[in-house]
């Protein structure tokens, strides 16, 4: 096992990203990114997954003989223990799909499946912004609003495997994901009198110092502060890490986030708990997925 790699696969609503990790945590070769094809039949989606694995191995001049295990991160909800997708909104053709069993049977290798937000936080806790911290709380800000918790290098999944599923928590007249996601940012921008725009366009407008865009990011930061404050007050983490595509706007939303957050967090965490952007970028998903198997592979060295 010492010389074998772990394959990490991050399956999202728009793309599959696959990469290789050594048991020391080093990324080998370069990751492969391909479209998911979320409305295609399961066989087509799985075919793309297998193709991405084989391409990543080819780039690194490796074969399946050099693979110790495979870790996969997917949007929830899912049955983590059995690796079964339940009804993830981003993967409509894979509802109740036995992902772990299907991939394990295809490759005859150990396979682990977990929530993509959990994988993100695991990667950042081991090799990113949270490295060295005992309790890491992380949020993914993008199409949806994901949350994960890692304690002493292990994902905390809770009694029903749904720890961190904060997205559905009530907020204002709806629920929190409607405000701290891409569509929440777009809604804030429209309500300030601007036309429809993508989150990337709103970020570009903020870079150009457009007042409506700057204000939209400020509104986003304020809403996000409440969700982070609830979570800090419950968990008391060492650090909070923010990732996902919307974290690119950190410079624009963090001042408002910090202002409102510190008002609503209890005194000691208010002074000590840092909220920081992720360090691993888009690679965090596949790195964290591979890390699902890292401890098992290290134990077999």
225 confidence band (pLDDT: 50, 70, 90): very high
Q: What is the pLDDT of residues 19-69, one digit of tens each?
A: 999 988 899 999 999 999 989 999 999 999 999 999 999 999 999 999 999
Report the range of poorest mean pLDDT among 157-161, 198-202, 204-208, 250-254.
157-161
154 confidence band (pLDDT: 50, 70, 90): very high
Mean local confidence (pLDDT), 220-247: 97
Q: What is the pLDDT of residues 155-176, one digit of tens each?
A: 999 999 889 989 889 999 999 9
If you average pLDDT over every residue of the chain, what do you get? 94
Q: Is 214 exposed, middle or buried (0-12, 13-18, 19+ CB in 10 A)?
A: middle
Mean local confidence (pLDDT), 69-77: 94
| Residue percentage of the chain with pLDDT more than 90 | 88
Q: Is 232 exposed, middle or buried (0-12, 13-18, 19+ CB in 10 A)?
A: buried
How much is the pLDDT for 299? 44
Given a cut of 70, whether residue 88 has pLDDT beyond it is yes
Domains of the chain, each with CATH number or no CATH: 5-119+283-299 (3.30.420.40), 132-278 (3.30.420.40)
How much is the pLDDT for 57? 97
143 confidence band (pLDDT: 50, 70, 90): confident
How much is the pLDDT for 297? 54
């Amino acid at each position: 096992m010492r010389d074998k790699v772990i394959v990490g696969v991050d399956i999202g609503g728009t793309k599959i990203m696959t990469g290789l990790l050594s048991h020391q945590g080093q990324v080998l070769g370069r990751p492969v990114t391909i479209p998911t094809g979320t409305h295609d039949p399961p066989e087509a989606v799985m075919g793309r997954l297998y193709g991405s694995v084989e391409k990543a191995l080819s780039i690194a001049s490796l074969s399946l003989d050099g693979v110790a295990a495979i870790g996969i991160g997917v949007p929830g909800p899912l049955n983590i223990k059995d690796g079964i997708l339940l009804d993830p909104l981003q993967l409509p053709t894979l509802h109740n799909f036995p992902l772990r069993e299907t991939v394990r049977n295809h490759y005859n290798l150990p396979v682990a499946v977990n929530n993509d937000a959990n994988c993100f936080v695991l990667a950042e806790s081991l090799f990113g912004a949270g490295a060295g911290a005992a309790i890491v709380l992380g949020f993914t800000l993008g199409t949806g609003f994901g949350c994960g918790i890692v304690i002493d290098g292990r994902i905390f999944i809770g009694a029903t495997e749904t720890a961190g599923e904060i997205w559905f928590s009530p907020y204002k007249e709806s629920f929190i994901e409607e405000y701290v996601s891409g569509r929440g940012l777009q809604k804030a921008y429209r309500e300030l009198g601007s036309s429809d725009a993508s989150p990337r366009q709103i970020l570009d407008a903020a870079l150009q110092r457009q007042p409506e865009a700057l204000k939209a990011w400020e509104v986003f930061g304020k809403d996000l502060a409440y969700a982070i404050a609830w979570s800090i007050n419950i968990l008391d983490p060492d650090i909070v890490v923010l990732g996902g595509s919307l974290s690119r706007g950190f410079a624009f939303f963090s001042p408002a986030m910090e202002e409102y957050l510190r008002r609503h967090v209890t005194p000691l965490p208010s002074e000590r708990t840092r909220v920081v952007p992720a360090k691993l970028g888009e690679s965090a998903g596949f790195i964290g997925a591979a890390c699902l198997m890292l401890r098992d592979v290290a134990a077999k060295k």
